[in-house]
Amino acid sequence: MQFRAPAKINLSFRILGRRADGFHDIDTLMAPISLHDSLTITRLKDAGKIDFVCTDSSLPGGDENLAVRAARLFLGITRSRAGVRIALEKNIPHGAGLGGGSSDAATVLLGLNQLLAAEWSEIRLAEVAAEIGSDVPFFIYQSAARCRGRGDIVTPIKLPKTVSLLLLKPLFGVPTPWAYQRWKESKKLPEIRYQAQEFSGLDLVNDLERSVFEKFIFMGHLKMWLLAQPEARAAIMSGSGSTLIAILRDGADAETLARRAKIELDSELWTCACRTM
């Protein structure tokens, strides 16, 4: 069976403080987007066997891979006599703040629930997803959502409208734990705009921009460059980066903006025109 694992963007991201368990309490608005990985999940006869293949050879293939971990957890809890083969076509860059690994894991849980006729509810799937990673429960609901706690308390919502986007990512990634660790002590750069941007009744803001931009100054400059372009209504970093999101005006040509960014800023920028779902 074939499944799509969508990327996500953070339209807002607030850090409320550090928790006793070492995580941070957050309040974030996330939305799935049309950029996606593709997974083919096949049932095997050998009980407990997990075969994993991926088009991106840089990704780990063992239990450190979230998709494999999700499959092993599901098979273990259900005590299934089946095994599975997971073939992953990777399109979402990693270290990008787009949730690719978390989405792959959630899609494996959703896929195995269907393939093996386990009939788990969304709530049960989300509970198991939370054991894998903080962002994984969000993808179970296949909807925009407000996520709180460490990201595992998910309230699905409907966005006011479908939004056209341009994603821009430099070659480097940003480690999520590092961004959180620097958050409290980091300082704002005077030339960068951090305050909330209003869009369709939403306040677009990301508290991690402060820590990430302080070290990766290029990303702050990329945001300010986007805000100065006629195609962009708003610009914000997704998650812990390193992807910047340009919210496009109606009728704007994303490819023209992407070409201009590569000419004026960095010829090796990864770009993707997409939309919210």
CATH (one of 3.40.980.10, 3.30.70.890, 1.10.3720.10, 2.60.40.10) for 164-275: 3.30.70.890
Determine the CATH number of domain 2-156: 3.30.230.10
* Arithmetic mean of pLDDT, 217-231: 98
In tens, the pLDDT along 81-139 reads 999 999 999 999 988 999 999 999 999 999 999 999 999 999 999 999 999 999 999 99
In tens, the pLDDT along 134-191 reads 999 999 999 999 999 999 999 999 998 999 999 999 999 999 999 999 998 999 999 9
**Distances in Å between the alpha carbon of 62 and those of 5, 50, 59, 193?**
19, 9, 9, 41
C-alpha dihedral (210, 215, 221, 226), degrees to nearest 10: -60
Contacts of 106 (CB under 8 A, 6+ apart): 5, 70, 125, 129, 136, 137, 138, 139, 140
Looking at residue 30, what is its pLDDT? Answer: 98
The token duo for 206 is: 């990301």
Q: Percent of the chain having pLDDT more than 90? A: 89
135 is catalytic: yes
Residue 47 has pLDDT above 90, yes or no: no
What is the pTM (predicted TM-score) of this model?
A: 0.95
From the list 135, 152, 169, 223, the catalytic residue is 135
Judge if 2-156 and 164-275 fold alike in CATH terms. no
- Annotated domain spans of the chain: 2-156, 164-275
**Mean pLDDT over the full length of the chain:** 95
Confidence of residue 21 (pLDDT cuts 50, 70, 90): confident
266 is catalytic: no
From the list 8, 90, 169, 223, the catalytic residue is 8
